[in-house]
Structure 1
Amino acid sequence: MFRTEGFMRRLPPLKSLQAFEAAARWLSFSKAADELFVTPAAISQQIKQLEGFLGIPLFHRMTRSVRLTEEAKTVLPLVTEGFDNLAEAVDRLKLEEKSGILTVSTVPTFAVKWLVHHLTGFSEKHPDIDVRLDASLDTRDFNRDGIDVSIRLGAGEYRGLHVSKIFDEEVSPVCSPKLLEGSFPLTSLKDLKSHRLLHVDWGSLTSQSPDWQMWAQAAGLDDVSVNRGPRFTVENMAIEAAINGDGVALVSHSAVVEDLKAGRLVRPFDLTVQSDLAYWLVCPHAHLRKAKVSAFCDWLLAEANQTPV
């Protein structure tokens, strides 16, 4: 049926309809009271309120029993069907909260280098929840972009949102194993002079970028020019360049866990530098009331805690 703008249903109180429907099914105020966990007097009062709203009697009240009026007999199937439909709608909403598509906004490197390697575990634990990864360097709007939860790289200052730290970030040099051999084998700090340095441009994420200058200072390396070499605005691009043997990249530990395991990369030096960046799980407080969001958050934090980086 077509409804004009501003249409509003004029309905009686839900409790009075519920009392009528239960009493009409049982033909008993006391049994309806037991079903709804109220007193028979409360049932009687709710039905009187409904009769006043409708302007017609619904029951013939006798000494020890009640029976429906003809009007009540006519509307009872419709009221029962209405409550059945309402119950089905509530069940569907509950199912949607527990399952369905969960949209996760995340920075590309975390998605490619860490999250996709662990998502199978979440899917096995929660087969009714399908994860949609929205990988972007841009900060997504939760409402406008339909984001359930976000994974962000930064200092953790996300005002008005729920924030949980996934893990801190440390950086260290990595390179292809083939750079340890050849004409200029990378075996000591001074050998960095003969190799291209790959830089990650962290942009405005932090005032103290974890860069080669910081690492060289911690290593006491003052005779190597650390400002040379290409810059990458996405950490994963620097990692891929290092895997290809194009140079030595200074990257975060969490981003290269799988590449180190597979032997695609090695750490030529043990020195690491703590970054003031960290990965954070971020979402509006209200989103945590969604079963699928809380399930993902609990799983991710537990997974990160069990995974060495």
Structure 2
Amino acid sequence: MRRLPPLSAIEAFVQVARLGSIKAAAGELALSSPALSRRVQALERFMGKPLFDRRHQAIVLNADGERLLSQIAPALDAMSDAIDAMTSGGELLRLRLGLLPLYASRRLMPRLGELKAAHPELHLDVDTQPNRQARLGDSLDAAIVLARDIDPALYARRLDRNRVFVIGCRDLLDGPDPVTRPEHVSRLTALVHRDMPETFIEWRRAMGLPELEPRTTDFFDSGPLMLEAAAQGLGVAFMLEMHFEGARDERLMRLFEPVDSDYSYWFVCRPRALHTRAVRIFHDWVLAVLNPEPASAR
């Protein structure tokens, strides 16, 4: 039988390749950075070629490393699944998942039956409380968050691109003082989600009105309540395209042209969580089924 490199060296290589950092990978494997580097170097000596390009404060897979990762990472994941299956005793898999209520109702719940049919062993504990990123690894295994930036210590995959919509009730166009120009927002209340505090700023910048201020700004932590407030004429909501299209509320209309937004939905978890079967099943399903375009890693 052909001699193989140590499994510890293979595991170190895959972890560094996935995280792009010796320090982060060492933390996940409970090793010192020098010890992890030695394992990677041992694999490179075994292969007879470098697998990474070493740059200033960075380590990046080269072409040989990319090829090796594509061939051995699935095998390593399959080994982990086999160990999980043998040690779990056939027990159910449970995933503690953080979600925004609006994303859960608009995107996840309509497709959840497909996930259940494909993986009847997987059960979700859905958590809609705030501070999802901070609670990963504690009360949450994974989360889908709405953010402009993600904590660099986390594993993250972008799920979409968005545009900011200004959403208001139809009466805003029918009254004696109709809202027809962006400047007219100065006499209205801006409704802004606490998870997207920069949406109004993004919109006014795109409109070429950096000094524009609404009459006042009301903050919400619930997308559905924001939409209802807009439908009741309490202000105009600065939300994303998905929120407007998903509302299907005839009382609401889009004011003005949408503008590009830096906010995206992201799948996030602690890097070590990807080694658990429940997280990996959900991660792969989300990227394959709920993602409207190829996901890009941060």
TM class by shorter chain equals 0.5 to 0.7
Identity of aligned residues (%): 24
Between the aligned partners of 1:291 and 1:242, the Cα distance in structure 2 is 42
What's the offset of the Cα at 1:191?
Answer: 4.5
Residue identity matched to 1:234: D
1:115 aligns with 2:108: yes
In 1, Cα distance between the equivalents of 2:278 and 2:94? Answer: 9
Length-normalised TM-score, structure 1: 0.56
Q: Is the 8 A contact 1:219 1:271 kept in 2?
A: no
Q: Hey, what does 2:70 align to over in structure 1?
A: none
1:239 lines up with 2:232 in the alignment: no
Distance in 1 (alpha carbons) for counterparts of 2:165 and 2:119: 35
Bigger radius of gyration:
1
Structure 1: tracts of 5 or more residues without a match: 1-88
The structure 1 residue matched to 2:237, chosen from 230, 246, 249, is 249
Map 1:149-298; keep pairs closer than 5 Å. 149-192=142-185, 195-202=188-195, 210-221=198-209, 226-234=213-221, 236=223, 237-259=225-247, 261-275=248-262, 277-298=263-284
* TM-aligned CA deviation for residue 185 of structure 1: 3.5
Check the 8 A contact 1:166/1:279 in 2, yes or no.
Answer: yes
Aligned to 1:144: 138
1:204-234 deviation per Cα after TM superposition (whole angstroms, max 9, x unaligned): x8xxx53434423322358x95232232142
Give ranges in structure 2 of 5+ residues lacking alignment. Answer: 1-83, 294-298
| Change in CA separation of 1:94 and 1:178 when aligned onto 2, cut-off 3 Å | farther
Conserved 8 A contact 2:168-2:235: yes
The number of aligned residues is 208
Which residue of structure 2 lines up, in the alignment, with residue 55 of structure 1?
none
Task: List 4+ stretches of structure 1 deviating above 4 A.
Answer: 89-92
The structure-2 alpha-carbon separation of the partners of 1:102 and 1:213, relative to structure 1 and needing over 3 Å to count, comes to: closer
Taking the aligned partners of 2:250 and 2:235, their CA distance within structure 1 comes to 16
Matched, 1:131 2:124: yes
Distance 1:198 1:155 in 2: 19
Task: Let me know the Cα RMSD of the aligned residues.
Answer: 3.2
Contact 2:170–2:253 (Cα < 8 Å) also in 1? yes
Shift of 1:172: 1.9
Q: Partners in 2 of 1:280 and 1:129 — Cα distance?
A: 21
Note if contact 1:184-1:194 (Cα within 8 Å) is conserved in structure 2. no
Aligned 8 A contact 2:158 2:265 in 1: yes
The residue type equivalent to 2:250 in the other structure is: G
CA offset digits 1:222-273 (Å, max 9, x no partner): 8x952322321425143331133322111122333311x4535321222313
Contact 1:105–1:136 (CA under 8 A) maintained in structure 2: yes
Paired residues of 1:175 and 1:265 also in contact (CA < 8 A): yes
Distance 1:170 1:119 in 2: 25
Letter in 2 for 1:212: F
CA contact (8 A) 2:154 2:269 kept: yes
What is the aligned partner in structure 2 of residue 303 from structure 1? 289
SS in 2 for 1:153: strand
Q: What's 2:43 paired with?
A: none
